Amino acid sequence: MLMNEHSFFNIFMFISLHCQGEDDGSRLHNMNENCPIVGIGASAGGLEALETFFNNIPDNNGMAFVVVMHLDPSHVSLLPELLQRRTKMEVVKIRSSEQVAANKIYVIPPNRNLQICDNVLELIETPGQRIKSPIDSFFESLAQDQGRNAACIILSGTGTDGTLGLKEIAAESGFALAQSTSSAKYDGMPKSAIDTGLVNFILDPSEMPRHLIEHFKTSVMNRSNTVTDTEILTSILSQILLIIKNKMGHDFSLYKKKTIFRRIERRMQVLQIENIHDYLLLLQKRTQEGSQEVGILFRDLLIGVTSFFRDKDAFKVLSDTILPELLDKQPDNYTVRVWAPGCSSGEEAYSMAILLQEYMATSAKSMNIQIFATDVDEYAIERARSGRYPQTVINDLGEEYCQRYFTKEDGYYNVKKFLREMVVFATQNLIQDPPFSKLDIICCRNLLIYFSPELQRHIFPIFHYSLKDEGILFLGPSETTGQSNSYFEIIDKKWKIFKRKPHQENTTSGLHFTEPQSPLKMEKTNTRPAATQITELSALQLVEMILKNNNVPPCVIIDNRMNIVYVHGRLGHYLEPAEGRLSNQILEMARTPALREELSSAIHKAVLHKKDVLKKNIPFGMDDSKLFLDLSVKVLQEIGSLKDLLMITFTEKPHAKATTATDINKQLPANNDASILQKELDNIRDDLQTTIEELETSNEELKSANEELQSTNEELQSTNEELETSKEELQSLNEESVTVNAELQAHIDELSMANDDIRNLLNSTQVATLFLDTELKIRRFTPKMQDIINLLPTDIHRPIAHLSSSLQNIKLTDVANHVLKTLEKHEIEVYDVKDKYYKMRALPYRTSNNVIAGVVISFEDITSIKEIEKTLIDSEQRYKSLFDNSPFTVLEVDASGLVKYIDTHHLTTLEKLESHLKNKNFKSEELTNLIQILNINDSGVSLFDGSDKASLLKSIPKLILTTAFLSKHMQAIVEHKSNIIFTSKIHTISQKNLECKITITIPKIKKPDHAANTILVLVPV
């Protein structure tokens, strides 16, 4: 039965809650409340990658993005504006105490570091360290605050910023991406991240959004379901751990279940596998894919995250208090032995070496320091041996320690030789391999938190056995001795520093150096690859066959390091194991000094000249015997996988054998042969002594030369460090310059687009426009300007006074000078030789900083307007002639009652005084006494709200033409869209009544706020 209907994470939670005594000390993160937060680190060349990334991610993705770049503090960053053009998500520059929200992009300001706590971003003043690492700083806080809810992306940039922070993200089961080196303009940061082996995917920026979305989408953390099928899950987990044990040789069955489940879950999320059974099937595949995944999961379970002086206060307590108490009582040249199990990439081992070196410097004591640093991860051990760390470690070490114990090279810090020689790195399985003994200190920090209580109970007796009396055990802040407190007493409770208790009865009776009973049954495997073992075995068998078939005398076969790899025959007369540590070095096994000298000489000659060497009659004897032998060194050809071999044969001289000095004297002739031989021997010894003295002299000279070279090397090293410092400063400036240049280039592109928009706008308006500078030189003009002045593109920067225009009534230089002097707009109508009219506007050219930088002159073609005006004037003249010659009397009265027009042709009709009617100030109210209303049309009745004409005529006094009437009823007359027509008697001066038909009209006008004049037409009946 498969777990298709249940969540893997729920099963994990169920088992975790039922695992008694387990507490990994890790923080719990509420995944349902917080949106995923993605930290993006970039430097030189990162702007293009960021734009590509945000171009390809959906706007409503449910994630928050925090962009951390190396920005120049002396320039205002345009990064938020540039990114806003690539996405509809809101892009903001971070301010302190800013709450993180989904579908939003946060950009760090220049010269600040950034931290996150409880989903709130906090800006921090940049500390004074020389190597700034804002990306590492933010990633580390993001890992601590968000755990598996965090993701990090490393984009283009030089240096190594972001690498340490990525390790922290990976340690908390976060998601890590790095830009491919082929797509990055600068591959330093991505390459450093990739080298950690912790990056989940190496991608181009355009591919990253899809993997991010799929990672969080396929997360298997559905907590709403209940889980009951724990037996199935336990079985699957056991099968996974068995696969790891069979292929990698390491048993994780006694590690904490929470830790194992969390790391397996992380791999499932990366591979987008929702069912743990499917993941088991992947591991079981006999393919390269399956084998690779086993190795990746193995390294993931090891969680190799560490740093220099992690928990600085703890190391300070160790340095100030613990070490003096432990070592002050020890004599000079005392050997301090330290063991650092689970050393990972070596930072804490080197930290211990630095502390001990500092102790010797302050206490003026000379001690031998031996630090044994071990780990089960061979890859981590190789990195630790190299002693090469990213330059951002200066933030953990401090500048003083970096200068004293490290050398800078190619953007990395390398451990100096004297410090490196204090530490011995080796692959060791703490659980099953024999431990070191007679130790002063064990530094095992943040390793036991991953072990189950049963495994911890197995480890503490081993630590007790390994330490001397009152030896120090240094654990991590979340670790304790638990039920094994009978082995250690606590010295510092906060920082978990313990001292070994004296040996007690039965405390080590059950001690054994094999791993505790595992629930897994391991298949039989060899620690070395089978192919290599078969090859070497076949080669040695071939050697043995050749030696036996050719009756070769007793001999040994050695490699290029003088180690014996094969022995043929009985060689006890010549070779024997030396006292002390077992060694297979042939020179150490030579039985006499004379034989050792001859062996060394012959081997060096054979290796140097690649030829066989034969030495005859070598005196050799032990006790009272005197022997002579021939020594042969032959260079062997490559045999299988065995290379650079030498075969050394020992052949005794039978005729020279004697048992005592007396017997030798009897065998010599009676003549002076013996004295001759003795003299030759003495001469040879003298020659040898001379040669030795010459060799010693040469050695002294070489030593002196070596010291001089060492001094020169130190000077060169000092110069190199200065150059490295300058290089780092230049590199930092270069990164900031590249970022600024990228922003400026984007700004230039934006300005170019705006310039194109303005140019197209000016061209499309068909308005002639001329731009002049303060010296009245042409800066720019629109094509329509060529209709007024014969301009060419080459006339740019020419004075306008040098060019003639077609304008007749104006000089452009006078207008421009007037505008520059008054700083006011100037408008005038002008015309050219072709009778084209223009409205010319000239105004100052103002910059964005309100600086006058010239004059702008525009010409609007109003020829058609002028033609319309002429037509209107002609029309007005015609209509005036018509009114003047009509049989009617026409008056035009404005809103104030002032008579604006009256045709004098009909003055006789009204028999009025000409002097009164021709008066410009004659008001319509003066006509009121001359007019009597006789009749009114329907519009008039409606206007005055009358019920019938008879009553209305009686109620209305004489003709109402007052200002109040006109003001009150003018708009009403307009709204009725009809004229008021009535018949009235006009009383003339001669007291005659003239009956007239009077029409009142208010013409329609387009401007609602403009008062129209009232037209009165009087027609005698």
* CA separation, residue 62 to residues 89, 97, 100, 446, 524 (Å): 11, 21, 12, 34, 49
Q: What is the mean pLDDT of the chain?
A: 76
Cβ within 8 Å of residue 243, ≥6 positions away: 283, 284, 294
Domain membership of residue 109 (yes or no) is yes
Is the pLDDT at 537 greater than 90? The verdict is no
Shared domain check, 259 and 179? no
Classify residue 521: in a domain, yes or no: no
Q: Which of 247, 270, 302 is the last residue of a domain?
A: 302
Paired strand residues for 983: 997
Strand ranges, E, within 376-486: 388-390, 406-409, 412-415, 423-427, 439-444, 467-475
What the block records as the tokens of 617 is 């009659």
Residues comprising the chain, all counted: 1021
Q: How far apart are CA 5 and CA 8, in angstroms?
A: 10
* Same domain membership, residue 564 and residue 487: no
Residues 254 and 292 occupy one common structural domain: yes
Kindly state whether residues 367 and 469 are assigned to the same domain.
Answer: yes
Residue 701 belongs to some domain of the structure: no
- The span from the CA of 656 to the CA of 680, in Å, is 17
Which of 394-398, 511-515, 520-524 has the highest average model confidence (pLDDT)?
Answer: 394-398
Sheet holding 37-42, edge to edge: 90-93, 104-107, 64-69, 37-42, 150-154, 175-179, 201-203
Helix and strand counts by DSSP (H, E) for the chain: 31, 36
CA distance 366 to 354: 14
Q: Hey, is 28 helix, strand or coil?
A: coil
Q: Is residue 161 annotated as a catalytic residue, yes or no? A: yes
Average pLDDT value for residue range 830-856: 88
Comparing 617 with 993, the larger pLDDT belongs to 617
Whether residue 427 is predicted with pLDDT greater than 50 in this model: the reply is yes
> Catalytic site residue 75?
no
pLDDT given at position 622: 58
| Residue 657 covered by a domain | yes
Indicate if 231 and 205 belong to the same structural domain: no
Greater model confidence, 525 or 583: 583
Q: Which of 570-584, 592-606, 830-844 has the highest mean pLDDT?
A: 830-844
Closest CA to 844 of 870, 815, 864: 815
CA angle 395, 400, 404 (to 5 degrees): 115
Q: State the catalytic residue, choosing from 72, 136, 145, 161.
A: 161
Sequence-distant (6+) residues with CB within 8 A of 283 are 240, 243, 290, 293, 294, 297
Question: Alpha-carbon distance 576 to 589, whole Å?
Answer: 5
pLDDT for position 577? 80
What's the structural domain count of the chain? 6
Q: What is the pLDDT of residues 671-683, one digit of tens each?
A: 446 765 775 676 5
The tens digit of pLDDT for each residue in 190-210 reads 998 888 878 888 899 999 999
Show the tokens assigned to 724: 């490295």
Q: For position 635, which CATH number holds?
A: 3.30.450.20
- Give the Cα separation of 720 and 599 in Å (integer): 43
The pLDDT value given to residue 1009: 54
Place of tokens 């003239």: 994
Q: 140: which 2 tokens?
A: 């580390």
Q: Is residue 748 part of a domain?
A: no
Bridge partners, 555 (sequence order): 568, 649
Residue of 386, 349, 389 whose CA lies nearest to 369: 349
**484 occurs within a structural domain:** yes
| Same-domain status, 858 and 951 | no
Exposed (0-12), middle (13-18) or buried (19+): which is 757, by Cβ within 10 Å? Answer: exposed
Domain enclosing residue 805, as ranges: 766-866
Tokens for 669? 């002739």
* DSSP per-residue codes, 573-585: TTB-PPSSS---B
The Cβ of residue 506 has, within 10 Å, a number of other Cβ atoms equal to 7
Q: What is the pLDDT of residues 883-938, one digit of tens each?
A: 666 666 555 655 555 555 555 444 444 444 344 444 444 455 554 444 445 556 66
Chosen domain end from 302, 329, 355: 302
List, for residues 325-379, the tens digit of each pLDDT value: 999 899 888 999 999 998 988 999 999 999 999 999 998 888 999 999 999 888 8
Per the annotation, the verdict on 43 as an active-site residue is: yes
Same domain assignment for residues 184 and 236: no
Report, as an integer, the average pLDDT of 299-317. 86
Residues 783 and 817 in one domain: yes
Same domain, yes or no: 322 and 288: no
Say if residue 153 is in the same domain as residue 293: no
Q: From the candidates 7, 43, 183, 732, give the one annotated as an active-site residue.
A: 43
Catalytic site residue from 6, 70, 458, 969: 70
Q: Cβ distance 343 to 377 under 8 Å? A: no
**Contact partners, residue 753, CB within 8 Å, separation at least 6:** none
Q: Which residue has the higher pLDDT, 972 or 634?
A: 634
197 with 268, same domain: the answer is no
Say yes or no to pLDDT of 578 above 70.
Answer: yes
Q: What is the pLDDT of residue 848?
A: 77
Structural domain ending residue among the three candidates 250, 267, 302? 302
How sure is the predictor about 42, in pLDDT bands with cuts at 50, 70 and 90?
very high
Q: Please check whether residue 392 lies inside any domain of the structure.
A: yes
Q: Dihedral, CA atoms, 254, 259, 262, 266, nearest 10 degrees?
A: -90
Q: Is residue 513 part of a domain?
A: no
Same domain flag for 200 and 235:
no
876: three-class secondary structure by DSSP: helix
Angle between helices 8-17 and 230-248 (to 10 degrees): 90
Residue 448 identity (one-letter amino acid)? L
In percent, how much of the chain has pLDDT > 70? 70
Distance separating alpha carbons of residues 855 and 75, to the nearest angstrom: 32
E strands, 796-875, in order: 826-831, 837-846, 852-861
